[in-house]
Amino acid sequence: MVGTDALQAIIYARGALRLLDQRKLPLEVDYIDVKDSADGWNAIKDMVVRGAPAIAIAAALALAVEVSGLDFTGTPAEAASYVSKKLEYLVSSRPTAVNLSDAATKLQTLVSKTAENVRDAKAIFQVYIEAAETMLIDDVADNKAIGSHGSEFLQRQLGNSKNISVLTHCNTGSLATAGYGTALGVIRALHSGGVLEKAFCTETRPFNQGSRLTAFELVHEKIPSTLIADSAAAALMKQGRVQAVIVGADRIAANGDTANKIGTYNLAISAKHHGVQFYVAAPVTSIDLALQSGEEIVIEERSPKELLNSEGGLGKQVAASGISVWNPAFDVTPANLITAIITEKGVITKTDSDGAFDIKGFIQSAK
């Protein structure tokens, strides 16, 4: 599925799941065993695994491991109910990431329909396991398509330049997906095409996904890259050192408003001011057509310890005792600040002079 030298956040064989503990990167590479949905829930909540696509796959596979060896004596309907309730539980681990809830809904529908046509409860679990495994395989293919579409589109937009430099935020690579990555997948494709001059990545405070994870991936892949402080992005753009910003997404509303790691909105405003193109790269599963705008997106708030202590809350105290903390995990970038949305189905561009996206129309035509 991916090369043997590629970074893998998820290692799976039927009945066994191991997740790379991303809290320990880049200094230590350690995998934890996930034996059931409770282990999966904790791994997602504690950010052992993170990134919207990887979260959905890890959750689905955690339950696949649980049911693979389950001694279940109930009916098919009871088996479907068991799977459905476990999926609802897993969704509660990270509510902002739409990929997780979307995957859960599809899997719940699948087992419910299967229960109507089989007599053996084990058939429910078998169908579920196969569907979860397919998610793992499909994600890599989708990511490579995102990379290809994004690379080709950026080159056209930038006049077929052979020296493209981009800025990315948070981590959207192999560690955030089943492999290859979304926004970082576009960077990989630019690099393999020989047109990437440099990739800049932000620290992405307070959990430092950029400095710990994205920098780790870029160095591993030998992609020319430079780490910057979050607060240096505007100065970088003012100096004309990047032609585009490429970020991922945890949830995209029907109008194109995009929830992503906190600090994305800052970058979009700065990019608009400096005339730098701003792209979102994400699978169509990150699009939530049920939400008309970003105003409806639920934003998760993380523990105050992530700001009060070093190492994203895992280290020693660095802030004054008694200070209150506001620590949203995500912010919402309005669609009018986004140049285009890159998906595995193609690139969603704006359709009128008002700068609006017709995302629903794009998805319908792409089916």
**pLDDT score recorded for residue 1:** 35
Cα separations in angstroms, 317 against 102, 302, 312, 314: 38, 17, 10, 9
**pLDDT score recorded for residue 356:** 85
Q: Phi first, then psi: what are they for 43, rounded to 5°?
A: -65, -35
Nearest partner of 258 among 179, 145, 181, 182, judged by Cα? 182
pLDDT in tens, 346-360: 999 998 767 789 999
Reported confidence tier of residue 5, pLDDT bands at 50, 70, 90? low
CA 336 to chain centre: 22
Beta strands in 65-207 (DSSP E): 164-168, 196-202
CB count within 10 Å of CB 224 equals 11
Tell me the two tokens of residue 358. 């017709």
**pLDDT score recorded for residue 352:** 75
Rounded average pLDDT over 41-59: 94
Beta strands in 175-266 (DSSP E): 196-202, 225-228, 244-247, 251-253, 258-261
Fold of domain 10-138: Four Helix Bundle (Hemerythrin (Met), subunit A) (1.20.120)
CA 283 to chain centre: 9
CA–CA separation, 172 and 96 (whole Å): 16
Tell me the two tokens of residue 353. 């002079």
pLDDT in tens, 106-158: 999 999 999 999 999 999 999 999 999 999 999 999 999 999 999 999 999 99
Rounded average pLDDT over 2-29: 85
Rounded average pLDDT over 201-221: 96
Tell me the two tokens of residue 41. 């829930």
**pLDDT score recorded for residue 7:** 76
Q: Which residue's entry shows tokens 């990134």?
A: 51
18 DSSP β-pair partners: 11, 33
260 DSSP β-pair partners: 331
What average pLDDT is seen over the chain? 94
CA–CA separation, 245 and 362 (whole Å): 23
**pLDDT score recorded for residue 312:** 87
Contact indicator for 29, 47 with CB cutoff of 8 Å: no
Marked catalytic residue, from 39, 102, 250, 288: 250
Reported confidence tier of residue 283, pLDDT bands at 50, 70, 90? very high
Residues 6+ apart with CB under 8 A from 193: 151, 155
The H-or-E segment that residue 237 falls in is helix 233-238
pLDDT > 90 in the chain, percent: 90
**pLDDT score recorded for residue 353:** 65
pLDDT in tens, 308-332: 999 889 899 999 999 999 999 999 9
Number of H helices, E strands in the chain: 12, 14
User: CATH for 146-366, among 3.40.50.10470, 3.40.50.670, 3.90.1150.10, 2.70.98.40?
Assistant: 3.40.50.10470
**pLDDT score recorded for residue 96:** 80
**pLDDT score recorded for residue 327:** 97
Contact indicator for 127, 111 with CB cutoff of 8 Å: yes
Rounded average pLDDT over 55-67: 97
- Answer yes or no: 250 catalytic: yes
Cα separations in angstroms, 162 against 153, 239, 244, 297: 14, 19, 14, 38
CA–CA separation, 285 and 201 (whole Å): 25
**pLDDT score recorded for residue 6:** 62
pLDDT in tens, 239-255: 999 999 999 999 999 99
Q: Which residue's entry shows tokens 């068991």?
A: 82
3-state secondary structure of 296: helix
Residues 6+ apart with CB under 8 A from 126: none
Q: Is the pLDDT of residue 222 over 90?
A: yes
Reported confidence tier of residue 4, pLDDT bands at 50, 70, 90? very low
**pLDDT score recorded for residue 367:** 76
Q: Phi first, then psi: what are they for 220, rounded to 5°?
A: -60, -40
**pLDDT score recorded for residue 184:** 97
- Domain range summary for the chain, segments of one domain joined by +: 10-138, 146-366
